[in-house]
Structure 1
Amino acid sequence: MSAEGLAQITLRPGAGEGLRMAVISAAWNAEITDRLHDHAVAALRELGVQVDDWRVAGAVELPVVAAEALKTRDAVVANGCVIRGDTAHFDYVCRSVTDGLTRVALDAGKPVGNGVLTVENHQQAVDRSGVDGAVEDKGADAARAALHSVLVLRDIAARG
């Protein structure tokens, strides 16, 4: 979801009461992922969500841990940071993580907020990590998007 699209969605205070979500973040590129992680956890807790959180080594590990967490939680937020290098590794990791998280969400029928940054350079990651003056806060954005999706799914179920 774009920052503009997310700005159009308002989550009322307490919107997450009674919900349990997980935030799972890669430790690779910790300067960035620590911030994404902390902002996702804070955003959910501010909305009343019970949050469990874990760290994994890298972005490739996110889908399998997210799948396990979704067995007992309403949604997951997955954060990571993949910065392009000089080899094709970037392309394989980005595709693997994106496809994996999508599959996990569809298999579980539950939202996975994708807070994995796939950027050309370190500065782009910083600009999207929620530092003061940053253009985006992808950790918090992914958390709010996942929570909003939980609420939409509940509304769909309630309407039959």
Structure 2
Amino acid sequence: MSGAGAPKVTVDGSGLRVVVVAASWHEQVMDGLLAGARRALAESGADWTEVRVPGSFELPVAAARAAAGGADAVVALGVVIRGGTPHFEYVCSAATTGLTDVSVRTGVPVGFGVLTCDDEAQALDRAGLEGSREDKGAEAAEAAVATAVTFRDLVPAPR
């Protein structure tokens, strides 16, 4: 949702229960992503809680638990920075596929705020920190809330 043509998403998320699941690796980047998500959720009026997991690989199982626990939306935040081994590809693929599966299987929207970057500079530029060009934490929260509002207005969620 970034770059030219990106929509500005503004919705009333009052009454929604959102769970933010956030990885712990790369503290500075994660601080920025969390700040952006918190700001966007506060602006939406949604109620939220936060859960921390060790890394991005653990995000899907935490998102699944949040969805099963009654969350109306989940915001998944993490960062994976390319290194010299195939680890990057495995973790990025597992996180992306796992979070998609949670959303499709449960019908609970998952805002995807997992940065997959070649280097730390790219991550910092997307983290929503002072001087960053993008705020992926806020974008992920806005997308999750907007989708949950659409679902709420469309049809009650199956539980």
Task: Indicate whether the TM-score tops 0.5.
Answer: yes
How far is 1:154 from its partner? 2.1
- Structure 1, residues 87-116: CA drift from partner, whole Å, max 9, x if none? 000000000000000000011101000100
Q: CA deviation at 1:133?
A: 2.5
Contact 2:75 2:111 in 1 (8 A): yes
TM-superposition CA deviations, 1:34-70 (whole Å, max 9, x none): 2211220221022111011011000000000111111
TM-score, reference length from structure 2: 0.92
* Alignment match of 1:87 (pick from 64, 77, 85): 85
Question: AA paired with 2:85?
Answer: T
Does the aligned pair in 2 maintain the 1:27–1:34 contact within 8 Å? Answer: no
Spell out the pairing of 1:1-160 with structure 2 (5 A cutoff): 1-6=1-6, 8-12=7-11, 15-71=12-68, 72-157=70-155
RCO (CA 8 Å, sep 6+): is it higher in 1 or 2? 2
Deviates more, 1:37-46 or 1:17-26: 37-46
CA distance in 1: counterparts of 2:108 and 2:137, whole angstroms: 18
Residue correspondences, number: 155
Flag structure 2 segments of 5+ consecutive residues without an equivalent. none
Where structure 1 has 5 or more consecutive residues not aligned to the other structure, the ranges are: none
> Would the aligned equivalents of 1:3 and 1:141 in 2 still touch at CA under 8 Å?
no
TM-score (norm 1): 0.91
Q: Shift of the alpha carbon at 1:84? A: 0.2
Paired residues of 1:21 and 1:51 also in contact (CA < 8 A) = yes
Q: Which moved more, 1:28-37 or 1:107-116?
A: 28-37
Percent of pairs with identical residues: 47
Distance 1:10 1:28, change over 3 A: closer
